[in-house]
Amino acid sequence: MAIKKLKREPVLFLVLAAVLATACVFVLWPVVKVVSYPGAADYLQLLTNERWMRAGLNSLFMTVLSTASCTALAFLFAYSIVRLDIPLKGFFRFITLLPVVSPPFIVALSYILLFGRQGLVSKHLLHLNLDIYGWQGLWLVQTITFFPYAFTVIHGVMQAAAAHLEHAAHNLGASRWQAFRHVFLPLCRPGIAGGALIAAMNVLADFGNPMIIAGNFALLPTEAYMQMSGWFDLSAASVLSTALLVPALVLFLVNRLWVGKRSYVTVTGKESSLKAYPAPPALKWSLFACCLFVSLFVLAVYGVLVYGAFARTWGYDWSLTLQNMKYVTAKGSELWNSIRFAAVSSLGAVALAMLLAYLVQRKQVGINRLLDVLAILPGAVPGVFLGLGFAMAFNGPPFELAGTSAIMVLALLFWNLPTCYSACLAGLQQIGRSLEEASLNLGGGTLRTLRSVLLPLLRGPILSGFTLSFLRSVTCLSVIIFLYSSSTSVGTISILSLVQSGVWGGASALTVTLILIAFALLAASRLILFAYDRRKS
Amino acid sequence: MNNAAQPHIRIDDVTKSFGAFSALRSVTLDVPRGSFTTLLGPSGCGKTTLLRLLAGFDEPDSGSIRIDGAEMNGVPAFRRKTPLVFQDYALFPHMTVQENIAYGLKLQKARKAETAARVGEMMDLFGLQGLEKRLPKQLSGGQQQRVAFARALVTGRDILLMDEPLSNLDAKMRVEVRRELRELQRRAGITAVFVTHDQDEALSLSDYVAVFEKGRIRQAGTPWEVYYEPANAFVADFVGTANLLAGIVEDVRDGVLLVRCRDVLLRASSAGRTFRPGDRATLMIRPECLRIGADEGDAEPENRWMGAISGSSFLGRQVRYEVQCGETTLIVDDADPSVTGVLDGTVRLSCAADKIHVLSDEADSERKEGETHERIRPLSERRLG
């Protein structure tokens, strides 16, 4: 039946074939290339090579540890914001947004500025000489960096868990603690599981933070990069990346298949406006204090970076200067590359995501499931793996792209595809089919309908998909570290090399510039949406 | 404790605001032991707020609530022993039917055997056998409702609070459940407090009805009283359909008032209240108390109108007419249309003096502004119909 339909609509068939071919070449082919490169003997080395084994165990250790702390912190924030009657809720929400729109290694960098050998707190205030490189520091940094991802999920589920169920429990004689344990916690369990999985995926794939502060504590992503950059050992890098891919895929699948279905969210109109039963003041204010402490720490992270950007010599001379700006001008072409690649790849990602979402949601083409999987699969692949995959797959005929701008753009495009695809799909799902049918009914053709009905309505999701994609691209390190050449290097790479040579001032200045660029875009997109909304009303 | 003379629940001068919104203004109400008492009113009138205060989810701003004579202010919800059936049932979605029902007993640390026996009893009582292992979302609306009742009743408390528990059922089922509910409450001897905005439900279920408007109780009494002897225009209009006629008292003789309402002179019973000529009075006549007939023929001698039918709708068991009598439009229900057929043209209306009710709030001029002191007297002290 699907085939017949395709014969009737040749344009659709051609588009479908093109999309499918593109997805196979740029999503499946790099994965296959990496996984199939090493032989069985190479894979066996995972068990025998002590260094690799330790990297694997370390990754596992960090994932468990940081995921646990991320989830706990996210739960604490979500609970305080959703269920407690406390001040500064808006501020706490803002704090949970900050790390999401920042470069992945920003917390690590601040951490060094605060607690490192030349650190503001460690050296200047406490006169200590600390060795902060290692798993403890990484743990703290990853917790701060990734708890917002878990927060988003847990917060969503918690808000949906109606307070009147707890009222019902109290009514039957349950104390606050009993209602929390018997009713609230079980209802939040899917959210906690979902949040933990999102955090775990991010911690597992984290490259920026361990690069900067893990020191000799080797993890799978950093070890894979070491093997590649230090020894040009493609086989070893592939083995380590694959070892990273497998758990990442498992986490991804568990999240999609299991957590998605175990939701108790019930939509009830009237009762949801009920306030939660008030918590005891002692509990309320101690949770508030915890949130405040973490929030102030996050603020300190950003504050110290700005200070670092304008301090003469970090650790010795705290006076203010503009001399660090010379690094920004010196790295102008890299910053320009960052913006250029991010803009082009985000445009491409949005266009492709829109097309995919439209095909999956609106057209019965027989392979909707397959297209859906191809569109979200890059989301399961750790950045390091994707970068390595592109480096290996497009290193020779028929795709000779190594060292070009094209490979940077393509890698970022497909890395961001799931983000944009989810936004577009959700947007499409909210638009009733009848709107399109009305347009068709009035005589508008398919293309006309797409242009004059769907696209204007999807302006919000498209813009937010583009913005998020741009932010991710500008701040991306893991994907492109395998792909850049001297002419296509970007801002994040420059920052990493400045950090590695201990040029804190320059690194801070560049980071602040990068954040400013990101926030400028964020503000611009908000303004555009705002202006558009106002024009409509 | 179980002193029959003492009201089971005593609500004394309770006030509650949410921000600038006054949900309850100086509400006083006694709920007799073993009674079925309904809080009736339009949405936003404060009836659910009062129920939530009884359950302890909120605390009153002032005034007190006593249950069995014990002060409830400051007692947390989980120590109150006032099981509530929520409007949308609030079944725990992650617990099975059995776990939902057993939850209250589990909190009381009841022994396993006892819990099983009591839960089994409830499952039998509510016809839920075979559904033990189902989750709430696998049940129909009616089944969910029965689980909610079972969960509230399993602990054997002598109070049951209900927040519009029948509103999610279809019309036919609602009528059926009403009877079962009343039966159950009588048999178990529970004091029931029931919230609804449906006047039919309130009249058919209750021993007592408290009618709310804008956070005040406008009248509390038996269904008969609030229907036939409403205290004010709001109650008259909210509980059923009412013809309200404003007039001036012309004369009083032997407990019968002579009231001029525009162009007609009506005789009405003063129902023991004092009126003087020249007093204002509002009369209330239920549509079914008016008799309607063709132009000629003798009807009640006391009160008569001539009028022209300006509208009629045939409702099966009755015909509802709108009759234009001078400047007044009266609504008249003819309960036996098969005798006369649907009438048209000029008609004669009549009504016995004792079927015309004088609204008391307007009559009692010494009444303090805003006073809503409502003590329900035991049924035995009242005249019923």
Sorted by where each starts, the structural domains of chain A and their CATH numbers stand as 1-36+325-537 (1.10.3720.10), 45-321 (1.10.3720.10)
Partners of B77 on chain A (C-beta within 8 Å) are: 167, 170-171, 277
3-state secondary structure of A256: helix
* Percent residues over pLDDT 90 in chain A: 38
Mean pLDDT of the residues in chain A: 86
Q: Work out the angle at residue A29's Cα, subtended by the Cα atoms of residues A24 and A31, and round it to the nearest 5 degrees.
A: 120
Q: With an 8 Å Cβ cutoff, are B93 and A270 in contact?
A: no
* Test the A interface: residue of B80, B94, B119, B122 with most A CBs within 10 Å: B94
pLDDT digits (tens, 9 = 90+) for A475-533: 889 899 999 998 999 999 999 999 888 888 899 999 999 888 888 888 888 888 788 77
Quick one: pLDDT at residue B373?
A: 45
3-state secondary structure of A140: helix
Rounded distance between C-alpha atoms, residue A327 and residue A449, angstroms:
50
Quick one: pLDDT at residue A63?
A: 96
- Tokens read off for B132: 């033990």
- φ and ψ at residue A149, rounded to 5 degrees: -65, -45
Q: Work out the angle at residue A270's Cα, subtended by the Cα atoms of residues A269 and A272, and round it to the nearest 5 degrees.
A: 80
* Reported CATH class of domain B9-228: alpha beta
Q: Do residues B376 and B5 touch, judged by C-beta distance below 8 A?
A: no
Q: With an 8 Å Cβ cutoff, are B87 and A270 in contact?
A: yes
Interface of A with B (CB under 8 A): 162, 164-165, 167-176, 178-179, 182-183, 186-187, 264, 266, 268, 270-271, 274, 277
- Tokens read off for A493: 């790479």
Instruction: List the pLDDT tens digit at each of the 385 positions of chain B.
Output: 455 568 999 999 999 999 889 999 999 999 999 999 999 999 889 999 999 999 998 899 999 999 999 999 989 889 999 999 998 898 998 899 999 999 999 999 999 999 999 999 999 999 999 999 999 989 998 999 999 999 999 999 999 999 999 988 888 888 888 999 999 999 999 999 999 999 999 999 999 999 999 999 999 999 999 999 999 999 999 999 999 998 899 988 888 889 988 878 888 888 778 888 888 889 999 999 998 887 655 555 678 888 899 999 988 888 999 999 888 889 999 887 777 777 888 888 888 888 899 987 654 433 334 444 455 554 444 433 3
Comparing A148-152, A462-466, B122-126, B364-368, which segment has the lowest mean pLDDT?
B364-368
Beta B216-221 vs B208-213: how paired, if at all?
Answer: antiparallel
Partners of A173 on chain B (C-beta within 8 Å) are: 78-79, 81, 104, 107-108, 155
Q: With an 8 Å Cβ cutoff, are B155 and A170 in contact?
A: no
- φ and ψ at residue B109, rounded to 5 degrees: 55, 40
Partners of A187 on chain B (C-beta within 8 Å) are: 93-94
Best CATH choice for the domain B303-351 from the list 2.40.50, 1.20.1540, 2.60.120, 3.10.450: 2.40.50
One-letter-per-residue 3-state SS of B210-268:
EEEECCEEEEEECHHHHHHCCCCHHHHHHCCCCEEEEEEEEEEECCEEEEEECCEEEEE
Q: With an 8 Å Cβ cutoff, are B90 and A264 in contact?
A: no
* Test the B interface: residue of A164, A166, A171 with most B CBs within 10 Å: A171
Complex ipTM, two decimals? Answer: 0.79
Q: With an 8 Å Cβ cutoff, are A167 and B155 in contact?
A: no
Q: With an 8 Å Cβ cutoff, are B57 and A270 in contact?
A: no
Q: With an 8 Å Cβ cutoff, are B90 and A168 in contact?
A: yes
Partners of B54 on chain A (C-beta within 8 Å) are: none
Rounded distance between C-alpha atoms, residue A272 and residue A267, angstroms:
8
Q: For A414-427, what is the mean pLDDT?
A: 90
pLDDT band at A259 (very low <50, low <70, confident <90, very high): low
With residue B186 as reference, give the H or E element that holds it.
helix B171-188
Sign (positive/negative) of CA torsion B282, B286, B289, B294?
positive
Q: Do residues A379 and A202 touch, judged by C-beta distance below 8 A?
A: no
Domains of chain B, residue spans: 9-228, 303-351
pLDDT digits (tens, 9 = 90+) for A161-219: 778 888 999 999 999 899 999 999 988 888 899 899 989 999 999 998 998 888 889 99
Q: With an 8 Å Cβ cutoff, are B78 and A174 in contact?
A: yes
Top mean-pLDDT range of A371-385, A434-448, B270-284? A371-385
Q: Do residues B259 and B215 touch, judged by C-beta distance below 8 A?
A: no
Q: With an 8 Å Cβ cutoff, are A172 and B92 in contact?
A: no
- φ and ψ at residue B29, rounded to 5 degrees: -160, 135
Q: With an 8 Å Cβ cutoff, are A171 and B55 in contact?
A: yes
- Tokens read off for B213: 């408007």
pLDDT band at A87 (very low <50, low <70, confident <90, very high): very high
Partners of B78 on chain A (C-beta within 8 Å) are: 170-176, 178-179
Which of A450 and B216 is assigned the larger pLDDT? B216
How far is C-alpha A508 from the geometric centre of its chain's CA atoms?
22
Beta bridge partners of B243: B285
Partners of B90 on chain A (C-beta within 8 Å) are: 162, 164-165, 167-168, 271
